[in-house]
Amino acid sequence: MPPTAPRTAHLTRPRIALLILLAVALALPTVADWMGEPFYVRLATRILVFALAAVSLDLILGFGGMVSFGHAAFVGIGGYAVGILFAHQSDGSTLFGLPGTVNGLIVWPLAMLAGALAALPVGAISLRTTGVPFIMITLAFAQMLFYLMTGLKAYGGDDGIALWSRSTLPAPLNIADHTTFYYVVLGLLVAALALGWRLVNSRFGRVIRGAKDNERRMAALGYPVTRYKLVAFVIAGALAGLAGALLANATMFVGPQYLHWSRSGDLIVMVVLGGIGTLIGPVLGAAALLLLEEFVPELMDLAHAGLGEHWKIVLGPVLILLVLYARKGLWGVVAGRRP
């Protein structure tokens, strides 16, 4: 009888790639400072925030086969949790008899809770279907929430809420400082990746992956599949909520556009671009999409004024090429074929 395959602790190509990525992420603020381009730190922070949202989507899309086209709604709701509590704090009013707050240790967990609580009914209903109907129902729910936020006149309606200050964290973490905030976001992303990694390899993760492979067989084996998928959906909602809280802090703003379906589409693009079902891939996908969005229009405008707004003409072919030639996306290209 063959022994279980020994787990190699060698520096395999994916491990080297991970180490390099981590090194780049850690060194980035120093390098940006040295280059005299502090703006890069804020851009990188945005990338990490969207990476967190994309990773949370990959948990259900990549591992559970749940193509949610409304994931940005949970990001937006997390952002609103921060924004609404900020608004109450700034004008001294109360919400359900409680004062507002900007304490990150309170509002960030609340943002996660809000994301999870929103994901619960959406998932419970959407997961009664699969395939295209699932995509459409999650999209419909997200648009409902989008219009709900548009109609929230007390919280800015269409205009959203401008934040004058970031959440506060216990000393010595002063995230009003861009570099400190960057490292806090990086830490949370790494923690989320580690959690996600444990999750997909746990018994729970196996059920989710099994359901993606063959849901009918899972039921025949005795698994109440929908229950497990729903829990995964809620966990992803909570992580998206956290990403929303961080996004509000990164941009100092929350608005309905965070929940718009095109944002959900962006998240799917990040996952596909980076590598479905790889966890780390969506981080690369987020970086690629946001960097393209940042620099391609500028370059195109240089070539011909006004051309920049059509930058997606570049994104389209890039996506098609990746889908055709790199089935595990950018991470597949970086890490090589894994056995």
Partner 1 sequence: MSAPLLSTDSLVKRFGGLAATDGLSLSVAEGELHALIGPNGAGKTTLIGQLSGELTPDSGTILFDGRDVTRLPVHKRAQRGLARSFQITSIFPSFTALDNVALAVQAHAGHSFRFWRDAGRDRRLADPARAVLERVGLGARADTRADALAHGEKRQLELAMALATGPRLLLLDEPMAGMGPEDSARMVELLQELKGGVTILLVEHDMDAVFALADRITVLVRGKDLASGPPEQIRNDPAVREAYLGDELEVA
Interface residue list for partner 1 (CB under 8 A): 1-2, 4-5, 198-199, 201-207, 209-210, 213-214, 216-225, 228, 231
Token pair listed for 165: 């200050």
Residue 221 or 291 with smaller CB distance to partner 1:
221
Least Å from the CB of residue 234 to partner 1: 12
Q: How far apart are CA 188 and CA 199, in angstroms?
A: 16
Name the β-bridge partners of 308: none
Residue 44 or 208 with smaller CB distance to partner 1:
208
Least Å from the CB of residue 124 to partner 1: 16
Residue 220 or 305 with smaller CB distance to partner 1:
220
Least Å from the CB of residue 218 to partner 1: 8
Least Å from the CB of residue 321 to partner 1: 25
Residue 101 or 278 with smaller CB distance to partner 1:
278
Separation of CA 294 from chain center: 18
Token pair listed for 181: 């905030």
Q: How far apart are CA 206 and CA 201, in angstroms?
A: 6
Q: How far apart are CA 127 and CA 292, in angstroms?
A: 34
Residue 128 or 206 with smaller CB distance to partner 1:
206
Q: Are 108 and 184 in contact (CB under 8 A)?
A: no
The residue ranges of DSSP E strands in 256-311, in sequence order, are none
Q: How far apart are CA 82 and CA 247, in angstroms?
A: 10
Least Å from the CB of residue 216 to partner 1: 6
Q: Are 50 and 286 in contact (CB under 8 A)?
A: yes
